[in-house]
Amino acid sequence: MKKNNIKLLLKNQWFHIIILLCWLIIGIILRSTNLADKSASSTEIATLGYSLGHSFFDLPLDRVITLNQLLSPLQFELTSTPTDVIHQLLSEDTHPPVYFVINHLWFNLFSTDGEIVSLTVGRSLSAIFGVAAIPAIFGLGWLAFSPLVGHIAAALMAISPYGIYLAQESRHHTLTILWIIASVTCLIAIIPYLEKRRIFPIWLGCLWVTINSLGIATHYIFILVLAIEGLVIGGFWLRDIQNRFQSYWWRIYLVGLGTFIGCLVWLPVVMGVANNQLTEWISTSFDLDQIWYPIPRLLAWILTMVWLLPIEGTSLFVTILSGVILLIALVWVAPNLWQAARSQMNAIENRLSFQVFISFFVGAIALFLVIIYGMGRDLSLAARYQFVYFPVVIILLAAILAKCWNNLANQTEVENIFSEKEIGKIKDGGATKKDLIFTFATSTTSIISANFKQINKRVVIVVLLMGLCGSLTVVNNYGYQRSRRADLLVEVIKTQSKYSPLVATTYKTHAEIRALIALGLEFKRQEDKTKNADFFQPQFLLVKRQQNQKLTPDSTLAKFLSKTSRPVDLWGVNLKVEKSDLETFNCRKYSGSQPKVNGYRYKLYNCR
């Protein structure tokens, strides 16, 4: 008998492993599809450059440079060390070094001395961490609820449009998501000890402190995760405040102290991040007509963590149709999800875990709103900041969908609802009016319940299918597009330039340097891809911002236009210079039509 039980257990284990491998394969395929097709964002340029141990301030200002000179911060050098990475990063940027050092070691495995680093190699590490989140979220779902929740969570993570968007960027967000999942797993493991007023193992507390310290050393926004977990723990502390000096609470205090010490080393840097020029763009204006914008933006980011259809880079008709389909599907599944959520909340075996995740999610949204409206920093402006609560959204939805899948599955079948006595009465014709009414009501209820069971399973299937459509939307670049479409601008420059172009942009912070490098990298990528011998080799110029945007005679751009041989095609990309000043150098604005390109204000001046 025992041997049969063991065989059954092993069979179940192999079943779970095989299904999990299926989710992993799906996740790998989706994250590797068109991985290097999208142009690099300026933030990816920062990741690549700092991972190589290079400074962006080494590029000359107010001097015309070639494409190779512009791309020098992306040139791999064997002599660069992790120490160089940490030094340059802490000197110039607003991020901690863990991911950048790992990325540096990753480049050492696949790069050749002197070459421009591959965008595929740069993004592949993030994609690998994104794939690793699939078994990680599976483990969390299993620990907190059941294997079914774990599998649904893994499936949702594998096809999540938001998860794929983050995994296909050379950024540290996917590694931070792994730390979030690990930290929340420790929280879920410790909560039952607090509920039962027992001391949790010391190794679990040490593991939690280590994970939290690595999380903050990977991304400073991980502080928000710690704050949310503190709020969740605080709720249990208030319920048990009379026992606040008991030994099991002292373990929590020690974990908090250890985490604080792990974060303390980064405190001076974190304090400087808030006032850094690179974070000014998230400042909130609080204009009356815009003050409510963050709320629908947050709701949109939450929805697109699971659902997304083509809404960018398509015709207006396709965009509207996608929105309508999303709305119809949401209206159809919402009542079923709400009913399943209530059922999950009332389930005795999973109530505690569900409450913890609900508390985490509500606490996260509340904290975001405090930061947005209280501190004037609009974290809703960028999708990438929402990774703080992304794994919890996946787990919550998985728990609700699991309840949909199992809803009414264990109820008694129709024929077992009635007692033998009642059935006999009906057959013998001795049933009273009351018996007939009861029979009709119960049979109708059973039929409705059976239908609900099928509907609820369809809800699960629809959610997963819509998620898969969303993932295909992202990998084909019809959603979560780059805020700056360097690929489109390069196409415009190549199409409309009759002569070798000069691309000039106004410098303010090294954010403008990175944006120009991203444009230069796209020039090189398209040149390598087409291998066109007639490809125009552009030149570049970073112009120091002049007072009142006047083009003074002693400026580099003015000297260049005065001395260079004509004709010249001048492309002002986010260039803050008066048109009348350029006209004095016989540079006329291009009169033809030019398409809009996300993230760039550009103009072509024909200098003849």
Tokens of 359: 């508390």
Which backbone phi and psi does 430 adopt, to 5 degrees?
Answer: -100, 10
Task: Give the helix/strand (H/E) hosting 296.
Answer: helix 294-304
Helices marked H in 414-573 = 414-417, 420-428, 433-475, 486-496, 510-530, 556-563
Tokens of 422: 């009642």
Structural contact between residues 59 and 65, judged by C-beta atoms closer than 8 angstroms: yes
Could you give the 3-state DSSP secondary structure of residue 597?
strand
All residue ranges of the chain with pLDDT < 70 are 1-11, 268-289, 407-455, 531-536, 545-549
Amino acid at 104: H
Give the span between the Cα atoms of 448 and 454, in whole angstroms. 10
DSSP state of 608: -
DSSP characters over 102-131: HHHHHHHHH--TTSBPPHHHHHHHHHHHHH
pLDDT of residue 412: 34
Give the span between the Cα atoms of 357 and 395, in whole angstroms. 8
Structural contact between residues 209 and 262, judged by C-beta atoms closer than 8 angstroms: yes
The CA distances from residue 10 to 3, 6, 24, in Å, are 11, 6, 21
Could you give the 3-state DSSP secondary structure of residue 587?
strand
Give the span between the Cα atoms of 358 and 345, in whole angstroms. 10
Q: What tens digit of pLDDT does each residue of 243-300 get? A: 888 888 999 999 999 999 988 887 766 665 555 555 555 666 666 667 888 899 999 9
Amino acid at 234: G
Helices marked H in 52-172 = 67-70, 82-92, 98-110, 119-144, 147-159, 161-167
Structural contact between residues 127 and 167, judged by C-beta atoms closer than 8 angstroms: yes
Per-residue burial over 193-208, b if 16 or more Cβ lie within 10 Å, else e, is bbeeeeebeeeebebb
Could you give the 3-state DSSP secondary structure of residue 376?
coil
> Residue 521 contacts by C-beta under 8 Å, 6 or more apart in sequence?
39, 40, 45, 71, 74, 116, 119, 486
Which backbone phi and psi does 597 adopt, to 5 degrees?
Answer: -130, 125
How many angstroms from the chain centroid is the CA of residue 591? 40
Tokens of 75: 């040139």
Question: What is the sign of the dihedral through the CA atoms of 218, 219, 223 and 225?
Answer: negative
Tokens of 490: 């390069």
Q: What is this structure's pTM?
A: 0.87
Structural contact between residues 161 and 471, judged by C-beta atoms closer than 8 angstroms: yes
Structural contact between residues 139 and 157, judged by C-beta atoms closer than 8 angstroms: no
Backbone dihedral region for residue 360 (phi beyond 0: left; psi -120 to 50: alpha; all else: beta): alpha
Q: What tens digit of pLDDT does each residue of 155-203 get? A: 999 999 999 999 999 999 999 999 999 999 999 999 999 988 899 999 9
Structural contact between residues 540 and 503, judged by C-beta atoms closer than 8 angstroms: yes
